[in-house]
Structure 1
Amino acid sequence: MVIKGKDLIHVMESWAPQSLAMKNDRIGLQVGHPESEVKGILLALDITEEIVEEAIQRGANWIIAHHAVIFQPLKDLRTDKPAGRIYKKLLKHDINVYIAHTNLDAAKDGVNDVLCEKLNLQETKPLIPTQTYRLKKLIVFIPEDHHENVLHAMARAGAGWIGNYSHCTFNLNGTGTFLPREGTNPYIGKKGQLERVKEVRLETVITEDIQDEVVEAMLQSHPYEEPAYDIYPLDLPGKIDGIGRIGMLPEPVTLKELALKLKEAYRISGLRMVGKGEERVSKVAVLGGSGGRYYPEVKRLGADVYITGDLDHHTALDALAEGLNLLDPGHHVEHLVLERMGEKLSQFFSQDVPIQVTQVNTDPFQFI
């Protein structure tokens, strides 16, 4: 089976839609053509000459990376400079580059969820909201013998989620009436005769971003030629997407104990700690990458410790003065999402194209 770039992009954006990205982020297909055949995929955090060379040697003509290869507007394409050499190699060897950045940070099972899982954080929710979806009520009338089929089809499409509970619906039995006219092809009843049918009124909640998918699932599973259904907007807070996560440890530990656990879980040789090592912590905020500027919001949300990278001297001093502990494992820990990315893509493509995680360490920092 031939896999095209557009197929790969569709799978990536089903997981991490571009709508989740922060404004002006450099994401999507940055080098190449969406119709290019996918012969091999290399997953990486950054795009460097070593990464491109690895893709060439391993037969990968698609690189999916977290950090953009084109971030600032290009002033030139000089091949005697490092950036120009990268572009030359990519084009010469027909290597396509797709970027998933802050959309992958915010996505479910994305960067920040993986970082939280490594620490076994519980009851997590977005740290910095970037998008809120309104809640809606969907009501549909279903003949009794198809009630279960329609309910499960809608749930699979995402309807009926309240917190960590799925398939949340209310069902009420009643009698539906209809009279098939000329040109109809009724599932139940005869043309020209008033029909009475035992039906179930099913009510559930959806978010506006999945409305089309849920309605399509309902229509496809419903036996009626013209199903009756209603959709109402609700004056209630809906689903929130955002970067970072905040949650609870299974049990309180000291800041130093958490730092040592983080060092092992994130597979790093060292980290920076701000705060008293003996202080006990339980509520933890995590933001992969560079998140120092968000520390006031982290403090407002009541976190005991904030885990993020690239912390500067003044941010550390200010956070410490306000009683917020900090752990800085570096920016490069985002690479932990690559394993999850490989798992996701393997569900679709592993039988058709090789999917490989880079063996090149692009972290520029070393602990000595």
Structure 2
Amino acid sequence: MAGGGIVLKQAHAQTIIQAFEKYSPKHLAVEGDKIGLQVGSLQKPVRKVMVTLDVLEPVVDEAVEAEVDLIIAHHPLLFRPIKVLNTDTAYGRTVEKLIKHDITVYAAHTNLDVTEGGVNDLMADALQLENTEVLVPLFEDTLKKLSVFVPVDHADDLREALGNAGAGHIGNYTHCSFSTEGRGAFRPEAGADPFIGEPGKLERPAEEKVETLFYASEEKKVLQAVKKAHPYEEVAYDIFDMAVPGRKQGLGRIGRLPEKTTLNDFAEKVKKAFGVEGLRVVGDGSAEVEKVAVLGGDGNKYAMTALHKGADVYVTGDLYFHVAHDAWMEGLMMIDPGHHVEQIMKQDTADRLNNFVKEEKWETEVIVSAVNTDPFRFV
């Protein structure tokens, strides 16, 4: 029991991951990405969760010392097929320690890159980009329209529940809906337990038809909210596909700086935003920069995408020599702050998990790994 008489519940790994996947669903991952359960079991209680960028041996040692039950990582530990697990190597010892100490490892990789509010949005926000769009669209979340028939006295409660579930979100507005009043008609059969009326008698209650929009990926959550908030034993509703474009989801972001600057000044801004000692820059330092593309991790294959979408500069990691050459010749400026800047996901992910813990009243602690897993340093 926590302070204030709140009774805390024991959380299980599976329920924690289910909550997390509402924010970073698996279907957003790039095909073939090694996401999800990596080591251990999700069928166990969890008292402590640790969030990390990488699962290296020092990180696992940290988890063992902190008595962690579940590690949630951005980079998968098991990314390539294992032919031999030699416990004389650092990799083998890492897996051995995880198993010996019953620490489960779960990875959210490209799905955490793609999701709204994920790695790429965090990086764009850190650079103060405005009016951002997806750089590399991979999916389109189609729009749907919901019509629900509800007693007039319960219409406001239903609208609130729909808005809280994510329906009716249009631009900078939430809880958007439209209603028309009328009369429903139904006759409960024997064995029914009607909220209004009685079996065998035709009822004509005053009802509202509440209409709202939602994205297809949120359909399950929206319908759960409808059934929970609706007083009827059997809920009458319609769902229609919308012809208007939906929400594009994908890798990277592209947007504009609040004001124009030079490449050199922007490079200093990137260093400060991501807390790096140094970075690699391609282009004339005095050149003007306004439109910026950003993509966490290895973004080599999307350099020309950034160019064709009008970016002045492309911020990404692990730049190859020849990719930089090609971009340079085409006039695209580039900044490589390293792959490790994706660590920006650690604190944000921990904060989101802590919100889930508070909402569900779980007896679970969420911590952030303090181990620096960046293999590079500047001298």
Q: TM-score, normalised by structure 1?
A: 0.93
1:336-351 aligned within 5 A: 336-349=344-357
The offset of 1:94, in angstroms, is: 2.0
- The answer on 1:367 being equivalent to 2:375 is no
Counterpart secondary structure, 2:258: strand
Corresponding residue for 1:241?
Answer: 249
Counterpart secondary structure, 1:242: strand
How many pairs align?
A: 368
Residue of 312, 324, 336 corresponding to 1:316: 324
Unaligned runs of 5+ in 1: none
- Give, as a single letter, the amino acid of the residue that structure 1 aligns with 2:263: L
The offset of 1:227, in angstroms, is: 3.1
Corresponding residue for 1:83?
Answer: 91
**Deviations 1:304-341 (CA, angstroms, capped at 9, x unpaired):** 22111011111112112222221111000001110011
**Cα distance change on mapping 1:308 and 1:221 into 2, 3 Å:** same
Corresponding residue for 1:133?
Answer: 141
Residue of 261, 265, 284 corresponding to 2:269: 261
- The answer on 1:115 being equivalent to 2:123 is yes
Counterpart secondary structure, 1:205: strand
Identity of aligned residues (%): 45
1:142-161 aligned within 5 A: 142-161=150-169
Corresponding residue for 1:36?
Answer: 44
**Cα distance change on mapping 1:49 and 1:182 into 2, 3 Å:** closer
CA distance in 1, matches of 2:191, 2:94: 64
The offset of 1:181, in angstroms, is: 4.9
CA RMSD of aligned residues (A): 2.0
Counterpart secondary structure, 1:215: helix
CA distance in 2, matches of 1:328, 1:273: 6
**Deviations 1:185-209 (CA, angstroms, capped at 9, x unpaired):** 4434455555444332222212222
- Give, as a single letter, the amino acid of the residue that structure 2 aligns with 1:8: I
CA distance in 1, matches of 2:181, 2:76: 55
CA distance in 1, matches of 2:162, 2:333: 44
Task: Report if aligned partners of 2:48, 2:366 keep a CA contact under 8 Å in 1.
Answer: yes
- Give, as a single letter, the amino acid of the residue that structure 2 aligns with 1:247: G
Residue of 5, 8, 11 corresponding to 2:13: 5
The offset of 1:223, in angstroms, is: 2.5
**Cα distance change on mapping 1:192 and 1:31 into 2, 3 Å:** closer
- The answer on 1:325 being equivalent to 2:333 is yes
Q: TM-score, normalised by structure 2?
A: 0.90
CA distance in 2, matches of 1:183, 1:37: 41
Corresponding residue for 2:280?
Answer: 272
CA distance in 2, matches of 1:182, 1:56: 60
CA distance in 2, matches of 1:216, 1:57: 41
Unaligned runs of 5+ in 2: 1-8
The offset of 1:276, in angstroms, is: 2.1
**Deviations 1:243-288 (CA, angstroms, capped at 9, x unpaired):** 2112222222222222111111111101111122222222221111
Task: Report if aligned partners of 2:10, 2:364 keep a CA contact under 8 Å in 1.
Answer: no
Q: Is the deviation greater in 212-221 or in 288-297?
A: 212-221
Counterpart secondary structure, 1:220: helix
**Cα distance change on mapping 1:11 and 1:201 into 2, 3 Å:** closer
CA distance in 1, matches of 2:343, 2:128: 18
Corresponding residue for 1:48?
Answer: 56
